[in-house]
Amino acid sequence: MDDLLESPTLALARWAVQTQWAQVPEVARLATRRSWLNWWGCALGGAADPQVDRLVSALRPLGAAGSAPLLGRSERLDLPSAALVHAFASNILDFDDTHWATAIHPAGPVASAVVAWSSQYPCSGADALLAFLLGMEVECAVGLAVSPEHYAKGWHITASCGVFGAAAAVGRLMQLDEARMVWALGHAASQASGLVASLGSSAKSLNIAHAARNGLLAAQYAQAGLSASTAVLEDRFGFGALMGEGSFALGKLPGADAHWQVEDNRFKPYPCGFLLHPTLKACLALVQAHGVLAADAVAQITLRVAPLAATRANRPQPADGMAAKLSLQHAAAIMLLEGEAGVRRFTDAAVAQSQALRAKVQVLADEGLSQQEAAVEVQLHQGALLQARHRPAPGEEHPSLDDAGLALKFHDLVAHGAPHCDADRLVEQICATEQLADLRALVGLTLS
């Protein structure tokens, strides 16, 4: 406990070096497996995105070459670039996990570095899964220590804290000793970056990509004997001083009080802004009661949402699939037409498809609704008025998915981004990661 107060960097490094899978309670193991599956789905779902093509085409002429495969693709790159591309792809659909206490998407930076690392330095599935968990816990511990100021000020927290997670995870796979793990965290902090100003552009996913690559390099630098600050979190010119509130303190170590942050990780049910989710749920309830609608049967749709949603997402004519991710009109229309809102429902084609019905959607701000609520009324030409409302049960304000929902999401993503893959076999293998002798077996199933 003294270390925790006086040397949080050392305490965290020691924890990342020493913690064993046997110390992880079953509930945290389960949560780790769920985060792992969700990440694989997101990475494969984004693998064929035009922006990923652009990133790979930017890296290849620079001489990036090597033996590290890219999930769901055919090219091979050097390890750091592979980590970069994995993380970029897994974030590009805006469909990743969320640790609500920090707003971190924990899996991306960590899993991307672990998977890239394993292509050159074979590791067992069990070791990979443990490194993945430890990395996410380090990332969230650093994030919690600087929350909420860090993100509120404008640091893109998944990037700026994710780099610590990637460094800790790869450092663990390397079996760094305590002193080198301290350096790895030092090199991570030296590279911590990412501005909220990037949101809304490709630079957003690049921030997370840099965290994965830079964390991997941080561990590699430390292993090669390149030194760093030995107290980077608490140094007066260190991470807490510059990117926190002027100092740095860890309340507790990860896993203390038998609670692991991974247990709080939630999985987006829809690949769009959270502000649209209550609307999607309300429209889903309507469809479940009355069946899907045909656009020409509808006279008018009235959507009532919380004022913030009405301010930020009242977007009657989204220009493309990207803009549709923040359009209440599109979200309501496409759910009423299709009865689901997976990745194919937020493409340019889906925007064209929703046009006739979304022209009939009127959005009203309702001060009586919380941000987790929405209500929809559909007036049919035939005279009937259909109504539905979404209000989450207490404790379920942050939407997530159960195991069945996660499996559906995974299949949806693979069909979208890596249709050449056998999704059933992949789910089976991903869920059996702990039994794999070599993580490369899993990666191999995804290559095109």
Q: Does 448 bind a second copy (CB under 8 A)?
A: no
Closer residue to a second copy in complex, CB, 220/314 = 220
Chain Cα centroid distance, residue 128: 18
x/- site string to a second copy, residues 203 to 242, per CB under 8 A?
Answer: x--xx--x---x-xx--xx-xxxxxxx-xx--xxxxx-xx
Q: How far is the CB of 193 from a second copy (least distance, A)?
A: 4
Closer residue to a second copy in complex, CB, 23/237 = 237
Answer yes or no: are the C-beta atoms of 376 and 282 closer than 8 Å: yes
Closer residue to a second copy in complex, CB, 241/295 = 241
Other beta carbons less than 10 A from residue 388's beta carbon = 19
Q: How far is the CB of 194 from a second copy (least distance, A)?
A: 6
According to CB under 8 A, which one of 197, 289, 359, 437 is a site residue for a second copy? Answer: 197
Q: Does 86 bind a second copy (CB under 8 A)?
A: no
Closer residue to a second copy in complex, CB, 181/337 = 181
Residue 378: helix, strand or coil by DSSP? strand
How many Å apart are CA 448 and CA 71, to the nearest integer? 8
Which residues is 389 bridged to in the sheet?
375
Nearest partner of 75 among 52, 93, 97, 98, judged by Cα: 52
Q: Which window, 13-21, 186-194, 272-280, 301-309, contacts a second copy (CB under 8 A)?
A: 186-194
How many Å apart are CA 141 and CA 145, to the nearest integer? 6
How many Å apart are CA 218 and CA 190, to the nearest integer? 9
Q: In 37-154, at which residue ranges do the beta strands (DSSP E only) sit? A: 68-69, 76-77, 97-99
Q: Does 325 bind a second copy (CB under 8 A)?
A: no
According to CB under 8 A, which one of 16, 64, 386, 388 is a site residue for a second copy? Answer: 64
Nearest partner of 440 among 119, 39, 82, 128, judged by Cα: 119
Q: Order the strands of the 361-365 sheet from edge to edge.
A: 361-365, 298-305, 374-380, 385-390
According to CB under 8 A, which one of 2, 61, 74, 394 is a site residue for a second copy? Answer: 61
Q: Which window, 152-160, 297-305, 402-410, 417-425, contacts a second copy (CB under 8 A)?
A: 152-160
Which residues is 97 bridged to in the sheet?
267
Q: How far is the CB of 311 from a second copy (least distance, A)?
A: 17
How many Å apart are CA 322 and CA 325, to the nearest integer? 6
Q: Which window, 39-47, 95-103, 149-157, 439-447, contacts a second copy (CB under 8 A)?
A: 149-157
Q: How far is the CB of 322 from a second copy (least distance, A)?
A: 11
According to CB under 8 A, which one of 201, 368, 393, 396 is a site residue for a second copy? Answer: 201
According to CB under 8 A, which one of 31, 37, 43, 55 is a site residue for a second copy? Answer: 55
Q: What are phi and psi of 104, to 5 degrees?
A: -80, 145
Q: How far is the CB of 346 from a second copy (least distance, A)?
A: 18
Which residues is 390 bridged to in the sheet?
374
Find the binding residues for a second copy in span 165-184 (CB under 8 A). Answer: 183
Q: How far is the CB of 96 from a second copy (least distance, A)?
A: 18
Answer yes or no: are the C-beta atoms of 369 and 305 closer than 8 Å: yes
Other beta carbons less than 10 A from residue 371's beta carbon = 15
Residue 283: helix, strand or coil by DSSP? helix
Q: Does 12 bind a second copy (CB under 8 A)?
A: no
Q: What are phi and psi of 376, to 5 degrees?
A: -130, 140
Closer residue to a second copy in complex, CB, 55/335 = 55
Binding site for a second copy (CB under 8 A): 51, 54-55, 57-59, 61-68, 77-80, 120, 153-156, 183, 186-187, 189-203, 206-207, 210, 214, 216-217, 220-221, 223-229, 231-232, 235-239, 241-242
